[in-house]
Chains A and B, each alone.
Chain A
Amino acid sequence: MNQKNNLIIGLIIAGVVVMSVNVDADPRDFAEGLPNIGIMLKEITEVDSSLFVTAFWSMLETIEMAFIGTVVGVAIALPLSLLAARNLNNKFVYVPIRALLAAIRTFPSILWAILFVIIVGLGPFAGVLAIIMYTIGFIAKLQYEAIEAIDADPMDAVGAIGVSKIQLIRFVVLPESASHLLSQILYIFDYNIRQTSILGLVGAGGIGFYIINYIKFFEYGKAAVFMLVVLATVLIIEWVSVRVRDKYIVKSQRGMQIKS
């Protein structure tokens, strides 16, 4: 490590300290507040198991919302990513599309949810629309970056045959970026389940509605039931996506040996 690196690291640390003072982030407050965690933990253990059925059905609604949002969002994101890739289009196409996608990404899903609650009213539909918007912004960006990173050799070899752009996309771009796309879809589905879980905060459906309300009224034990169901769901999805990844992604790359 040289002088310059040391200086940069020093400046970053100094920056964190100064900014912490600015935003009033005082570690002493954290230490004083620690006993509150104990109180919360104690109440959480007083789980109200009669609520599991409600929790299950609201989780199912959440999963359905996330699923629809992911599928529709990806279906819209994919063509947009093809239009945003700089190696497939000229700048009169990709510049406006990229600007649009950047605009979509400026809103976190919770803001989209508020917007759609205003437009379509309270309920899961607003949540689904919010998830769609978030998925479009996120998947389209990652996917156009993946398309731009495609190996130039097959693009060149097939391009030299003089095929049309549709054919180039279908026979080179899609197969060469498919495993990347699958990986992104698994990630965003997992992420969408978690973020759909909080959309209930603004009345956009899903399990979050219950969690927020019980927490509001300090009924941590009841909220805990719902959070446990979310946790279990996320773990199951994680397990499934590891399986899918191993089958379709890792193997096709280089036949990696997985130690089990």
Chain B
Amino acid sequence: MQEQKGESSPSISSLSIVQMNGVSASYDSKEYVLKNIQMSISRGANYAIVGQSGSGKSTLLRLINGMMSPTKGKIMVDYNIPNPSDKKFKSLMHKIGYIPQNLGLIKNSTVLENVLIGALPRVSGFNSFFKKFSDSEIDNAKKILKQVGLQGKAERKVYMLSGGEKRRVAIARALVQKPEIILADEIVSELDHVTAREIMEVLAEAQATMKLTAIMVHHDLQLALEYADRVAVIKEGEKVLEIGVEGDKIVDFQSGNYTQTEILEMFTNESKE
């Protein structure tokens, strides 16, 4: 895995694939759910976002893939302003693997059909209407199903799968996109530790081989620190910390150095539910 540590000062925007300047967002124009977010995510980074429930983590991901627009401020994703009706950004959307918090799988379709949805940008309208995919697309999808640990389950209907298996389907769908960016929203929350780690390993391996940028929302700071090289902590819509591990120290990229225990204490005090 590429290491981005140390070289990623937020001002070097040319290196960053996601750049946010003073971004605020709201749903009903009354109250901002994200306030003045400053964020710079470097290409190839493994970036994590943690924070309490309702702090605005999912909203942040939806700003990046253009499913929502900021009320104030500016976002650039690979030099584009996210906007689904813009042709250029649309072709970038093909390369953003988005795994929403509730996965968004088609329950009555098979695992393979769900996963092949990721290949749709490469299929003509006519062929996709008849659900016709080339042999190489099907082979590739099956290869990825194997990679995420779903071999032999291709023809299963999704509603028959376990919670962990469903998450693997959503990961596979994103990987079939041949993505440059993966946005994963609490992909391992509420799973047992063993399964959570298995799934994180699958993602880490895919990230290493496909050289992609991963932006993942987590509930668990410990897990975030373990897998990410940068962790942003969101509290009530504001980014209060951006930390990373360097050697055995946790480095706060906003305001100096803390030890790991200090940060953990800070976090638990802040986000005790």
Binding site for B on A (CB under 8 A): 153-164, 166-167, 170-172, 175-176, 178-179, 252, 254-255
Contact = CB atoms under 8 A, between A and B. Distances in A.
Contacts, number: 84
Contacts of A157: 98-100, 103-105, 170
B157 A172 contact: no
A254 B158 CA distance: 11
Interface string B108-126: 1100010001101101010
Given A156-B67, A166-B129, A175-B108, A161 B118 contact: yes
Given A164-B120, A171-B128, 9 more contacts: A156-B100, A157-B98, A160-B93, A160-B100, A161-B118, A163-B121, A170-B128, A171-B109, A175-B108
B122 to A, nearest CB: 11
Contacts of B129: 166, 170
Given A156-B67, A156-B100, A170-B131, A164 B108 contact: no
A162 B106 contact: no
A157 to B, nearest CB: 3
Interface in B111-164: 113, 117-118, 120-121, 123, 125, 128-129, 131, 157, 159
Nearest to A171: B117
Contact of B125 (A162, A167, A254): A167
B98 A161 contact: yes
Contacts of A172: 106
B186 to A, nearest CB: 14
Given A170-B131, A176-B108, A160 B102 contact: no
Contacts of B170: 157
B125 A153 contact: no
A160 B67 contact: yes
